[in-house]
Amino acid sequence: MKRVNQIAIDFSVGTLNFLANIGIMLPYVLILAKWQQTQSETYLMALVAFYISRAASIFYTKRLNLKSSTYLILSLTLGAAGSLIFAFTSQLGWLVVGSLLWGYSAATIWPYFLTVKLHLTHTANFKMKRLYWLIFALLGLIIGADILAQFNYTLTFILLGGLYLAALPGGLLLNNFTSDFYRSAPHQVHGLSQTWRWILSLVFFGVLAVLTTLRKATIILPSWITLTIIGAALIILIVELIADWHVLPSFKMRLLNRGFLVSLVLLFNSFFAYFYLGNAGMYAVFGVYLVGFETGHPVFTLLGRHRPHQARQYSLISLMAGQLLLLIPWVGSYLLGLLLITLYVGYDNPTINETLYGLDSIDADSAIIHKYRFSTYGGLLCQLVMFGLLVAVSAGTHLSLLDFFKPSDTNHFGLYFYGLSWPLVFVSLLISIGNLHSLPTEKQAIQSK
């Protein structure tokens, strides 16, 4: 009986680990697949609602001053609710509610899981069980059965809802291993009274909703209106950055750089790769990103002979070389450039997680959340710059925005290469150079631990 209980707990914690790793992307991919299958405006609105909820939730979490393990349980519960809503109804109102719940879960499950996991590695002798491939195989079989039987992803949504529920015992178990980080900390004011920031946020995420819709559907807006709302969103983003500039003062450029790079690779280049590789382009980018993200840390650790400072230098060289290679209009340099950039991201991600969590100057329970906030700032900046450039280029050549997001041929390679890719890479280079300038202050912050 004891062995059966242990197997059940191992499965629950392993499922939690699995959901935390895939939870930010899989719901979006499934809702997108549902919309592509039906071409229904209902699922388009649900997709936009999910995207905005996911983007906004990382900024407006922690309002209740709960401990991270409690937020983790909340993320699992809302994820289960969102998934099951999509399984059992297609009514617009319920789908929007499901999207909002699932979006919050997608944005918060990984950072809160990571916070709890890092806390446990410092305070308890507890090991996470990993069941990735078993669950991946099960999920793949269910998706395959869904498609073959034409169940419209109903089985997949039900399975995901079941996985969220199966992970709850693991979340409750982790809750017993963690202490209430807020009991010893003074009550924090999170800015609920700052009405102006709430108003700006509503405007900003409204702009994101418009841009996300323009990326998916044919909606005709005058270019000057689109550029105006993008400009307004950039101003709001800068205001928000200034308001949060006191947080993580030594690491903000590094985190902004990380967020910009991830969006550059996974958002922009997942579309732009079509002009290099055709329909296989998006899959090639995802494959390169997966390889770089998973192998970056061991590769640079070995090159640096297990010396963190030397390994970091090699990773930065890889980043700069990768960005420069993207400026060459050749498929070989393009794929190598993406790989070198994602190797840097793969090395930087776990390194900065450990560094931030170990700093005495930062609340351990909020360090990872702050990290994801600043990374999200960088990702949103990349999106706004990309859309601004795309609107300007499309207006000047009398093309539709969907000619980039849903291309039918590669005739406009030169236009998008020099009009979109080059400027985006140059902006990325500038942020990376700013990241280099922050290295001395980072070193001082680490030495002051």
Q: What is the DSSP string of 133-146?
A: HHHHHHHHHHHHHH
Each residue of 280-315: pLDDT tens digit? 898 899 899 989 988 999 999 999 988 988 999 999
**pLDDT, position 329:** 95
Alpha carbons 211 and 205: distance in angstroms, whole number:
10
Q: Which residues contact 414 (CB under 8 A, 6 or more apart)?
A: 329
Helices 26-38, 92-123: axis angle to 10 degrees equals 160
**Could you tell me the CA-to-CA distances from 141 to 28, 87, 136, 153, 175 in Å, in that order?**
19, 17, 9, 12, 32
- Which has more confidence, 16 or 298? 298
Closest C-alpha among 17, 260, 281 to residue 134: 17
- Which has more confidence, 75 or 147? 75
Each residue of 35-94: pLDDT tens digit? 878 878 888 888 888 888 887 887 777 666 677 778 889 999 999 999 999 999 989 889
Does the pLDDT at position 229 exceed 80? yes
- Count of Cβ atoms closer than 10 Å to residue 141 Cβ: 12
Q: Which residues contact 432 (CB under 8 A, 6 or more apart)?
A: 257, 316, 319, 320, 323
pLDDT (mean) for 117-125: 60
**pLDDT, position 4:** 65
Does the pLDDT at position 442 exceed 60? no
Q: Where are the beta strands (DSSP E) in 181-335?
A: none
Q: Poorest-confidence range of 195-204, 220-229, 368-377, 417-426? A: 195-204
**pLDDT, position 63:** 61
Single-letter code of the amino acid located at 295: T
**pLDDT, position 184:** 42
pLDDT (mean) for 422-434: 94
CA 238 to chain CA centroid, Å, is: 20
Q: Poorest-confidence range of 183-197, 238-252, 428-442? A: 183-197
Q: How confident is the model at residue 201 (pLDDT cuts 50, 70, 90)?
A: confident
**pLDDT, position 425:** 97
Q: Mean pLDDT over all residues of the chain?
A: 82
- Count of Cβ atoms closer than 10 Å to residue 105 Cβ: 27
- Which has more confidence, 246 or 365? 246
pTM of the model: 0.81
Q: How confident is the model at residue 378 (pLDDT cuts 50, 70, 90)?
A: very high
**pLDDT, position 328:** 96
Does the pLDDT at position 445 exceed 60? no
End-to-end CA distance of the chain: 46
Closest C-alpha among 85, 118, 116 to residue 103: 85
**Could you tell me the CA-to-CA distances from 320 to 261, 311, 326, 343, 435 in Å, in that order?**
12, 15, 10, 12, 11
Closest C-alpha among 340, 324, 335, 336 to residue 277: 335
**pLDDT, position 439:** 61
At 193 the three-state DSSP class reads: coil
Does the pLDDT at position 437 exceed 90? no
- Which has more confidence, 203 or 318? 318
**pLDDT, position 216:** 76
Each residue of 89-119: pLDDT tens digit? 989 889 999 999 999 999 888 888 877 776 6
Q: Which residues contact 132 (CB under 8 A, 6 or more apart)?
A: 17, 18, 21
DSSP 8-state assignment for residue 186: P
Q: How confident is the model at residue 387 (pLDDT cuts 50, 70, 90)?
A: very high
**pLDDT, position 417:** 97
Q: Which of 84-93, 118-127, 223-232, 346-355 has the highest mean pLDDT?
A: 84-93
**pLDDT, position 185:** 43
∠ CA 202-423-345, nearest 5°, is: 75
Query: Please, are residues 388 and 227 in contact by the beta-carbon 8 Å criterion?
Result: yes
Does the pLDDT at position 122 exceed 60? no
pLDDT (mean) for 370-392: 90
**pLDDT, position 355:** 76
> Helices (DSSP H) in 150-247: which residue ranges?
154-177, 195-216, 223-243
**pLDDT, position 283:** 86
**pLDDT, position 443:** 52
